[in-house]
Amino acid sequence: MLPRTVVVAAIQPDCSSSSVEANLNALAAQVAQAADQGAEIVLLPEQFSEAFRLDHSAWLSASAQGGRVEEWLQSSASRHGIYLGGSYLEARGQDFYNTFALASPTGVIAGRVGKDHPCSLEAYVFSGQPGPQVIETDIGRIGVAICYDNSLRCVIDRLLAGDPDILLMPMSAPTPPKSLFYSERRIASYHASFRNGAIQAAQSWGIPAIMANKAGVWETPLPGLLPAVHSRYPGFSHIADNDGAELARLGDKVGLIVATVHMDPSKKHFTLPPEVDRYRPWIAPVPLDWRSFAIFEWVRSSRLSAQQGTRCASQSHGSQ
């Protein structure tokens, strides 16, 4: 592609309602405002259509491919003549997934990207779905990495192999409540791990990057005997140009930002420095508790395998 500019927007909403319709209705006004300001690509956060819950109640808000959430993306993108994307909790078969869908100005889904690895207790709610990280569009090759995936070497390797022209980073990253486990210092370390995520990505790869997180209250029950959580989102949504320059940023309030970024193939540099290898499976130093996340994924995988075995045995018994 030839060098070009594109106007992009990041929307930072309050998605705390348990009603998908209420969240979508609130987002509609923000999407319209971004389009009125000339945005060609509008990024919504991770799981933009539902409250971010980490127990079985999350499944009540799930939607199938082609269901109400994707229909809303398609109609909104067509109405405003924009590319509009974000992730939602997808119900597919016997399982649930965290799926990013990008709707085009013509009102079709241009592509989907799954979240490869659930983060911590997210593994109770949905399974990972590795796959391509780049969506081909008329504007260019749009790379997508959902929240925690931006820190993982396996995801970044696939992303860079897809030769993206721009990176979208949808997030649903609330602040952990202060506790014996999470001191103020650990919370600060957690915030530092993504506060400037788009800037760092743009500096590293030579492509513009947009990060969209949420604002407002975060409340969720937790599985088992774990206590419910009451906290807030820190925001931090921001837009960085292909040289890493910060063009726009939000604090912790509901809002949106719009900026013009540059896509230039000659500026791309997709080679990882050798020192990154020491951080595998991540690409940088991470908070200590992140090392436990794989355990949650293993527990979910084991439980699903056991359930599948039970179903197969039941079907076999019934056919005799």
- The answer to whether position 300 is within a domain reads no
Distance CA 183, CA 179 (A): 6
pLDDT tens string 201-218: 999 999 999 999 999 999
pTM, to two decimals: 0.93
Distance CA 318, CA 2 (A): 61
CATH code for the domain of 154:
3.60.110.10
Asked whether residue 42 carries a pLDDT value surpassing 80, the answer given is: yes
- Phi, psi (deg, nearest 5) at residue 250: -110, 155
Report CA-CA distances (Å) from 34 to 76, 81, 85, 257: 12, 11, 13, 8
Asked whether residue 309 carries a pLDDT value surpassing 60, the answer given is: no
Kindly indicate the confidence band of residue 172, based on its pLDDT and cuts at 50, 70 and 90.
Answer: very high
Distance CA 300, CA 51 (A): 21
Strand ranges for 93-133 from DSSP E: 95-103, 109-114
- The answer to whether position 315 is within a domain reads no
- The answer to whether position 319 is within a domain reads no
- The answer to whether position 298 is within a domain reads no
Q: From the CB of residue 153, how many other CB atoms can be counted at a distance below 10 Å?
A: 16
Domain containing residue 179: 4-290
Asked whether residue 168 carries a pLDDT value surpassing 60, the answer given is: yes
- Mode of pairing for the β-strands spanning 238-240 and 209-212: antiparallel
Question: What pLDDT is attached to residue 24?
Answer: 98
- Mode of pairing for the β-strands spanning 4-12 and 255-263: antiparallel
Question: What pLDDT is attached to residue 305?
Answer: 61
Instruction: Give the CA diameter of the chain.
Output: 67
For range 40-61, the mean pLDDT? 96
- The answer to whether position 131 is within a domain reads yes
Q: Which of 114, 231, 224 is nearest to 170 (CA)?
A: 114
- The answer to whether position 250 is within a domain reads yes
End-to-end CA distance of the chain: 61
Report CA-CA distances (Å) from 71 to 32, 179, 237: 16, 41, 25
- The answer to whether position 316 is within a domain reads no
Number of domains in the chain: 1
- The answer to whether position 21 is within a domain reads yes
